Copies of this chain bind each other. A is one copy, B any other.
Amino acid sequence: MSDEEGTNRIYRAIADTTRRRIIDELALRDRQSLFEICARMISKHGIYLSRQAFSRHLSVLEDVGIIEVEWQGTTKLHSLNKAPLAGLANGWLSRFEEQ
C-alpha cells in the first residue's frame, strides 16, 4: 500500500464521530475491552449501537494502526497508538495551522 493510500485510510478512519469518541475514551484509559467501550459510548456519549457495530468501528481503527490489541483470556484489550494520528497532525494538514 502506498504511503498516500495509508494516509487516506487514516483520514477516513477518523472521519466518524463514533470513532473519534472511541479514541477519546482510550486516550483517557488504555487496555479497555469491547464491552467497556460499548458501555462508555452509550452512557457517556449517548451513542446507541450494537456490540457488533462498535466491534466494526474498533476493527477499522485497528486496521490502520490507531488501536493496538492484547488478549487476556477471552478478553481483547484495546489501547491507543497515537503514532498514526501524530503522523497526520504533523503531516500535510499541518501547513494549514494558524497562530
| In the complex, chain A residues 1-44 whose Cβ is within 8 Å of any chain B Cβ | 4-5, 7-9, 11-12, 14-17, 20, 27
The interface stretch among A50-58, A67-75, A87-95 is: A87-95
Q: Residues of B contacting A14 with CB < 8 Å?
A: 11, 93
A96 surroundings in chain B (CB, below 8 A): 82, 85-86, 88-89
> Are A15 and B11 in contact (CB-based, < 8 A)?
yes
- How many copies make up the complex? 2
Whole-angstrom CA separation of A27 from B98 in the bound complex: 15
Closest B residue, CB atoms, query A66: B96
The 5 closest A-B CB pairs, nearest first, are A11-B15, A85-B96, A89-B97, A12-B15, A4-B17
- Chain A contacts to B: CB under 8 angstroms: 4-5, 7-9, 11-12, 14-17, 20, 27, 82, 85-86, 88-90, 92-99
